[in-house]
């Protein structure tokens, strides 16, 4: 049956199978493997040309290098909650490379809107102490790179908490704003590290974002792999469970 299909129709058939099975994203590697199972001599360049055509026809959408999605709308992250702290840090440390995100940016995606928010600031580890001291002077409730054993003190203060962490090279940021791909990875990490939320709530947030609005899966997976520690290893299972 497959031999009677044109190359484009064969690709479409497989992609339709992905979509009907509930997948929100798929990658070039897996598609190529599936094609070779039904058409062993399928040319890779032909595949890429057909995928490019399908993107132009808006049957699929780019989700990063080697990744595609059925979701037409790109996720839009609210940056308002972190603008003030970013402007403050830019004034105090004009040459500093840093990035920031807050759980308040994700408030709309929780099951219950949280009453407290945590803002994370990432910078070179050699500058964390200077940032800490400056924000203490400014009256901020700030905690310097807390360990899992120090998690309790994070929840003893009612006002917004700022947490300083060492930055990771090649982090997905836009100016000083962390992108959603970084936030999803780091939120998962902090869930496991200092328990700022439980696993169920994280899954709710993930389901309310990734299977509904398109993110860059290539960036997401590469950043997760770059961290590559016990706190982030299970994250790809969450992706597979919620996005097919």
**pLDDT digits over 193-210, tens only?**
998 999 999 999 999 999
| One domain, residues 228 and 108 | yes
DSSP string, 172-214: -EETTEEPHHHHHHHHHHHHHHH-SS-HHHHHHHHHHHTTTSB
In a domain, 32, yes or no: yes
Q: Which of 69, 100, 127 is the last residue of a domain?
A: 69
Q: Which of 46, 69, 92 is the last residue of a domain?
A: 69
- Residue-level pLDDT at 123: 97
Q: Over the stretch 5-44, which tens digit does the pLDDT of each residue have? A: 677 888 999 999 999 999 999 999 999 999 988 888 788 8
Q: Over the stretch 125-164, which tens digit does the pLDDT of each residue have? A: 999 999 999 999 999 999 999 988 887 777 665 678 999 9
| One domain, residues 65 and 108 | no
Burial class (CB in 10 A: 0-12, 13-18, 19+), 108: exposed
Q: By residue range, what is the domain housing residue 208?
A: 80-243
| One domain, residues 30 and 61 | yes
| One domain, residues 43 and 65 | yes
| One domain, residues 84 and 65 | no
In a domain, 95, yes or no: yes
12/16 Cα distance (integer angstroms):
6
In a domain, 75, yes or no: no
Residue 235 contacts by C-beta under 8 Å, 6 or more apart in sequence? 185, 188, 224
- How does residue 234 score in pLDDT terms, banded at 50, 70 and 90? confident
1 pLDDT above the threshold of 70: no
Q: Report the mean per-residue pLDDT for the chain.
A: 91
Burial class (CB in 10 A: 0-12, 13-18, 19+), 22: exposed
Residue 175 contacts by C-beta under 8 Å, 6 or more apart in sequence? none
């Amino acid at each position: 049956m497959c031999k009677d299909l044109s190359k484009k129709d064969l690709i479409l058939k497989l992609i339709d199978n992905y979509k009907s099975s509930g997948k929100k994203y798929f990658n070039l590697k897996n598609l190529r493997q599936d094609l070779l199972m039904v058409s062993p001599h399928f040319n890779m360049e032909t595949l890429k040309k057909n995928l490019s055509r399908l993107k132009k026809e808006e049957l699929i959408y780019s989700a990063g290098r080697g990744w595609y999605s059925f979701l037409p709308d790109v996720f839009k992250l609210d940056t308002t909650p972190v603008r003030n702290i970013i402007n403050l840090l830019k004034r105090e440390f004009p040459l500093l490379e840093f990035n920031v995100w807050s759980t308040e940016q994700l408030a709309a995606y929780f099951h219950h809107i949280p009453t407290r928010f945590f803002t994370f600031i990432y910078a070179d580890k050699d500058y964390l102490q200077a940032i800490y001291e400056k924000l203490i002077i400014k009256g901020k409730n700030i905690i310097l790179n807390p360990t899992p054993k120090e998690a309790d003190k994070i929840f003893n203060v009612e006002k917004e908490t700022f947490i300083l962490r060492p930055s990771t090279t090649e982090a997905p940021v836009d100016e000083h704003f962390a992108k959603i791909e970084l936030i999803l990875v780091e939120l998962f990490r902090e869930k496991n590290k200092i328990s700022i939320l439980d696993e169920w709530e994280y899954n709710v947030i993930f389901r309310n974002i990734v299977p509904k609005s398109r993110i860059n899966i290539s960036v997401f997976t590469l950043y997760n792999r770059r961290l590559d520690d016990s706190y982030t290893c299970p994250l790809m299972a969450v992706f597979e469970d919620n996005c097919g």
